[in-house]
Amino acid sequence: MTELLLPLAALPFPDIDPVLISIGPLAIHWYGLGYVVGILFAWWYSRRLASTPRLWAHHTPAMTPEHLDDFVVWAAVGVVAGGRIGYILFYDFARYIANPLDMLAIWEGGMSFHGGLLGVILAMILFARRRQINTWSLFDVVAAGVPVGLGLVRVTNFVNSELWGRPADVPWAFVFPNGGPEPRHPSQLYEASLEGIVLFLVLVWLVWGLKKLKTPGFIGGAFICGYGLSRIIVEFFRVPDPQLGYLLGGWLTMGMVLSLPMVLAGIWAMATAKQPAAR
């Protein structure tokens, strides 16, 4: 009976090569391109915010576009180094200790958003102190554009047929090439929608509608809280990493454990954000 239902219940998985361009030994993957485009968009968008005085308290931006030009390299290093180290520590420590050289094989995948976030936060703290910029304001302008990159990377996870969801009988389920015969939730697309489109639109409303850049820390807090909530929701539809499995009762995952403190920290940041006094 199940075999008869499969053709009706599942959508055909799109035949998209994970490698965009291959020139000799050099290969450009959609996954890597998603990171590059996401970083470039966040850089462009943050420059635009820093160039719009009416969005800021007392019409005085906390930084210049040139500051953000310098920071983009710091951000890229923080994302890549933090994301890789975070994945190694949080998700597959035993494997990488046994095979240390695999730690450098980023092209094979294996990046943690939570690790990347910690890497960027560290980069922002160091950069802000060096350039005498309000750290919370730097966090705000960077966070405002990050959801676009998150959405793109999640779409490339779908293209790569990785991080797929739990078995499902919904009309939009897919049979993933490496996910067994049963239709599954396209959890990567759920994440792309929540962490990418929805979260970005919420932040656009907070930045341009409610002018929340005037209260340093609010946009950054909204981003952290929004991502944490989105990730926790999607974890109910997503299969956890096989080397970890479920941590409790067949439902709790590492993604949930790492995201809950983000929700609490984001709420705290929004609740304590306040407009700086005029200079």
Nearest-5° angle of CA 54, CA 59, CA 61? Answer: 95
213 in a domain, yes or no? yes
The pLDDT assigned to 18 comes to 84
Instruction: Determine the pLDDT at residue 110.
Output: 67
Please give the residue range of the domain that contains residue 173.
Answer: 145-278
Whether 226 is in a domain gets the answer yes
- Indicate whether 72 belongs to any domain: no
For 7-123, list the strands marked E by DSSP. 10-11, 19-23, 26-29
- Can you list the positions of beta strands (E) in the chain? 10-11, 19-23, 26-29, 173-174
| 138 inside domain | no
Q: Is residue 162 part of a domain?
A: yes
Q: How many CB atoms lie within 10 A of CB 71?
A: 24
3-class secondary structure, 238: strand
Q: Does residue 66 sit within a domain?
A: no
Nearest to 144 by CA among 64, 224, 234, 75: 224
Give the residue ranges of the annotated binding site: 154
Q: Is residue 199 part of a domain?
A: yes
**In which residue ranges of the chain is pLDDT below 70?**
1-9, 90, 92-93, 99, 101-110, 243-244, 277-279
CA dihedral (51, 57, 59, 64) in degrees, to 10, reads -30
The CA distance from 35 to 106, in Å, is 12
- Report if pTM > 0.95: no
Asked whether residue 125 is domain-assigned, the answer is no
**What is the count of structural domains for the chain?**
1
Comparing CA positions, the residue from 112, 55, 109 lying closest to residue 79 is 112
pLDDT computed for residue 7 by the predictor: 45
**137-164: pLDDT as tens digits:** 999 999 999 999 999 999 999 999 988 9
Q: How does pLDDT run across 56-70, given as a tens digit for each residue?
A: 999 999 999 999 999
Distance CA 275, CA 113 (A): 30
Cα(199)–Cα(145) distance, integer angstroms: 10
Look up residue 161 and give its two tokens: 């047929």
